[in-house]
């Protein structure tokens, strides 16, 4: 009998009626012209929890045109940073007021634990506040050493209409890593959430209206990648795409956007290593490894789904991680004590299991888990916390995003070998190093091919600190000042002052 911690009961009831979700186009909440809808069945509870309009070309075209008109007439792009900040701050207050309502829907649609949804929705308010602070700081530079009668300014201006496309794994959080920053810059937006988790994005429309965001500045179209996402990536009236999702779809978006040379910012997948040296605080490191792989059931771009452990401590450390993983509270997402919830779809659950079974067939050793988990009284769409050893770096389970609670353990002997193994990936999103020697940490941090390196910690993030990936993990940066700058365009203004310009045709 597998000795795991599983929570079956909850103190929040599943609502009897699904939430109805509509598009938000030019300030109005509308159904699709053809009446198309999709229903979201809760991954954890197996019942329909939302019924969303499904957009087509008509809705997407209308949303893009509304955003274009709103940008071009300056109702948002040409007002002061102070005025834009006031609206964003108001949205932040409203998010805080509505946290519980948003969090319950987020949990029901995604399967993530309610405590985590509360943290993500409540925490998103801080992203809106931070973005508001940036709205008042936009500035370029000036040049006054170009000669007595010349002066130049380099201005920063909003880039224009931005398409924002988000994934299902952190719906409201990722939306808030993009939308308030684009709005703070003065851009107007068309947003498409994942078809699986449209709820909190659609609910946000109410808050934007209440906060006084002018009509047409933010438009939300619900629906699938085809046709909504593709039209948002190809349309001539869109200036930039900010996308978070899989590397495969990111590549398609890049190709589509290239036809009109739109700016593209991509936050994509990861296969993120944590490297553990023998001199590290092993208790701390084991806890961070358990957190890194089980958080959001491993359905996380920053999941530390592979660890590289020095061979002298590999056996002891793996045993610690296995013991800690048994204690992680899996189960009913509507119980505040639950730490890990359900898998997003049955197909994804099968995909996770496929990686594990393939590794076993190739000679891997499953030290914990390795099978679906049926949570009594809730549902069968869960996966056991899983630890796999006896692997080589070329195996698919080590190279690809499993996107489940599955930890791959590899070993190394030297710092150089650890760095080579860490960088042996097409991805470069994040990496971690555990050691009490600052030289080891710094050497690793400088040579790791990753957009973020954590030393003696894992997955701490702040609105101030840029996020993004190297290699096939992405392009551009999100949040922080660097993320904000992505939504700004540079314009140089060169001015002559005083005397007549030296003639060109008639000579000096």
Q: Which is nearer to ligand NAD, 313 or 422 (CB)?
A: 422
Residue 246 lies near ligand NAD (rule: CB under 6 A): yes
User: Nearest distance from residue 193's CB to ligand NAD, in Å?
Assistant: 6
Quick count: other Cβ atoms within 10 Å of Cβ 143?
A: 12
Per-residue burial over 51-88, b = 16 or more CB atoms within 10 Å of its CB, e = otherwise: ebbbbbeebbbbbbbbbbbbbeeebbbeeebeebbebb
Maximal CA-CA distance, the chain: 95
Torsion, Cα 169 445 448 282, to 10 degrees, reads -70
Q: Out of 42, 110, 117, 169, which residue is the one contacting ligand NAD (CB under 6 A)?
A: 169
User: Nearest distance from residue 165's CB to ligand NAD, in Å?
Assistant: 5
Q: Out of 113, 160, 167, 199, which residue is the one contacting ligand NAD (CB under 6 A)?
A: 167
Q: Which is nearer to ligand NAD, 136 or 471 (CB)?
A: 471
User: Cα–Cα distance between 167 and 443 in angstroms, integer?
Assistant: 34
Residue 230 lies near ligand NAD (rule: CB under 6 A): yes
Q: Out of 120, 195, 353, 485, which residue is the one contacting ligand NAD (CB under 6 A)?
A: 195
Segment holding 116, helix H or strand E: helix 114-135
Is 401 an active-site residue? no
Segment holding 251, helix H or strand E: helix 247-258
Partners of residue 428 on adjacent β-strands? 470
Residue 292 lies near ligand NAD (rule: CB under 6 A): no
Interaction residues for ligand NAD, span 294-353 (CB under 6 A): 301
Quick count: other Cβ atoms within 10 Å of Cβ 444?
A: 23
User: Nearest distance from residue 248's CB to ligand NAD, in Å?
Assistant: 7
Q: Which residues lie below 8 Å from residue 155, measured CB to CB, with a gap of 6+? A: 140, 490, 491, 492, 493
Residue 192 lies near ligand NAD (rule: CB under 6 A): yes
Residue 469 lies near ligand NAD (rule: CB under 6 A): yes
φ/ψ of residue 441, rounded to 5? -60, -45
The CA angle 167-401-310, to the nearest 5 degrees, is 135
Is 267 an active-site residue? yes
Segment holding 408, helix H or strand E: strand 406-412
Residue 54 lies near ligand NAD (rule: CB under 6 A): no
Helices of type H across 18-80: 57-72
Partners of residue 340 on adjacent β-strands? 330
Residue 224 lies near ligand NAD (rule: CB under 6 A): yes
User: Nearest distance from residue 354's CB to ligand NAD, in Å?
Assistant: 16
Number of residues forming the site for ligand NAD (CB under 6 A): 31
User: Nearest distance from residue 235's CB to ligand NAD, in Å?
Assistant: 12
φ/ψ of residue 394, rounded to 5? -85, -10
Q: Which is nearer to ligand NAD, 77 or 256 (CB)?
A: 256
Q: Given the rule CB under 6 A, which of 28-36, 266-274, 309-317, 323-331 is the region that contacts ligand NAD?
A: 266-274
Contact string (CB under 6 A) for ligand NAD, positions 118-157, x = contact: ----------------------------------------
Choosing from 301, 401, 449, 486, the catalytic residue is 301
User: Cα–Cα distance between 368 and 366 in angstroms, integer?
Assistant: 6
Q: Out of 252, 337, 447, 471, which residue is the one contacting ligand NAD (CB under 6 A)?
A: 252
Residue 225 lies near ligand NAD (rule: CB under 6 A): yes
User: Nearest distance from residue 198's CB to ligand NAD, in Å?
Assistant: 9
Q: Which is nearer to ligand NAD, 165 or 366 (CB)?
A: 165
Residue 109 lies near ligand NAD (rule: CB under 6 A): no
Q: Given the rule CB under 6 A, which of 20-28, 87-95, 167-175, 435-443 is the region that contacts ligand NAD?
A: 167-175
Put residue 264 in one of left, alpha, beta given phi > 0 → left and psi -120 to 50 → alpha: beta
Q: Out of 168, 181, 454, 458, which residue is the one contacting ligand NAD (CB under 6 A)?
A: 168
Q: Given the rule CB under 6 A, which of 228-236, 275-283, 316-324, 356-364 is the region that contacts ligand NAD?
A: 228-236
Residue 471 lies near ligand NAD (rule: CB under 6 A): no
Q: Given the rule CB under 6 A, which of 106-114, 148-156, 163-171, 366-374 is the region that contacts ligand NAD?
A: 163-171
Q: Which is nearer to ligand NAD, 85 or 231 (CB)?
A: 231
Q: Which is nearer to ligand NAD, 166 or 339 (CB)?
A: 166
Span between the terminal Cα atoms of the chain, in Å: 93
Q: Which residues lie below 8 Å from residue 420, measured CB to CB, with a gap of 6+? A: none
Task: Answer whether 350's CB lies under 8 Å from 343's CB.
Answer: no
Half-sphere exposure of residue 445: CA atoms within 13 angstroms, side-chain side: 14
The CA angle 231-232-234, to the nearest 5 degrees, is 60
Q: Which of 203, 180, 391, 407 is nearest to 286 (CA)?
A: 407
Q: What is the CA radius of gyration of the chain?
A: 25
User: Nearest distance from residue 393's CB to ligand NAD, in Å?
Assistant: 20
Residue 44 lies near ligand NAD (rule: CB under 6 A): no
Distance of CA 488 to the CA centre of its chain: 20
Positions touching ligand NAD (CB under 6 A) are 165-170, 174, 192, 194-195, 224-226, 229-230, 233, 244-246, 249, 252-253, 267-270, 301, 401, 429, 469, 474
Which residues participate in catalysis according to the annotation?
267, 301
């Amino acid at each position: 009998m597998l000795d795991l911690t599983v929570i079956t009961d909850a103190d929040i009831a599943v609502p009897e009626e699904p939430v109805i979700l509509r598009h938000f186009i030019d300030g109005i909440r509308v159904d699709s012209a053809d009446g198309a809808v999709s229903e979201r069945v809760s991954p954890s509870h197996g019942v329909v929890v939302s019924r969303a309009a499904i957009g087509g070309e008509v809705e997407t075209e209308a949303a893009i045109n509304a955003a274009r008109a709103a940008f071009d007439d300056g109702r948002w792009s040409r007002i002061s940073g102070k005025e834009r900040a006031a609206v964003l701050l108001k949205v932040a207050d409203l998010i805080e007021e509505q946290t519980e309502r948003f969090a319950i829907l987020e949990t029901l649609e995604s399967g993530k634990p309610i405590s985590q949804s509360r943290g993500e929705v409540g925490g998103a308010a801080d992203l809106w506040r931070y973005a508001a602070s940036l709205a008042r700081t936009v500035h370029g530079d000036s040049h006054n050493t170009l000669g007595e009668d010349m002066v130049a300014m380099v201005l920063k201006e909003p880039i224009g209409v931005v398409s924002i496309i988000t994934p299902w794994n952190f719906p409201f959080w990722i939306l808030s890593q993009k939308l308030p920053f684009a709005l703070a810059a003065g851009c107007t937006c068309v947003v498409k959430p994942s078809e699986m988790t449209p709820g909190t994005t659609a609910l946000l429309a109410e808050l934007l209206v209440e906060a006084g965001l002018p009509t047409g500045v933010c438009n939300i179209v619900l629906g699938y990648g085809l046709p909504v996402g593709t039209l948002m990536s190809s349309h001539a009236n869109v200036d930039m795409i900010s996308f978070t999702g899989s590397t495969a779809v990111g590549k398609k978006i890049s190709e589509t956007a290239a036809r009109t040379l739109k700016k593209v910012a991509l936050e994509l997948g990861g296969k993120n290593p944590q490297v553990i040296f023998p001199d590290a605080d092993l208790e701390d490191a084991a806890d961070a490894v358990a957190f890194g792989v089980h958080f959001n059931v491993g359905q996380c771009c920053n999941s530390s789904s592979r660890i590289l452990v020095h061979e002298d401590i590999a056996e002891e450390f793996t045993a610690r991680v296995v013991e800690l993983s048994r204690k992680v509270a899996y189960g009913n997402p509507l119980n505040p004590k639950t730490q890990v919830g359900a898998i997003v779809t049955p197909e994804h659950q099968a995909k996770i299991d496929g990686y594990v079974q393939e590794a076993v067939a190739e000679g891997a050793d499953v030290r914990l888990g390795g099978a679906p988990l049926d949570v009594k009284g809730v549902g069968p769409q869960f996966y056991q916390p899983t630890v796999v050893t006896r692997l080589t770096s070329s195996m698919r389970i080590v190279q690809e995003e499993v996107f489940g609670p599955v930890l791959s353990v590899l070993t190394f002997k030297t710092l150089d070998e650890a760095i080579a193994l860490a960088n042996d990936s097409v991805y470069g999103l994040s990496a971690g190093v555990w050691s009490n020697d600052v030289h080891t940490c710094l050497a690793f941090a400088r040579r790791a091919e990753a957009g973020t390196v954590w030393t003696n910690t894992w997955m701490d993030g702040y609105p101030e600190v840029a996020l993004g990936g190297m290699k096939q993990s992405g392009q551009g940066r999100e949040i922080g000042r660097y993320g904000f700058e992505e939504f700004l365009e540079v314009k140089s203004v060169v001015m002559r002052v005083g005397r007549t310009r030296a003639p060109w045709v008639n000579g000096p």
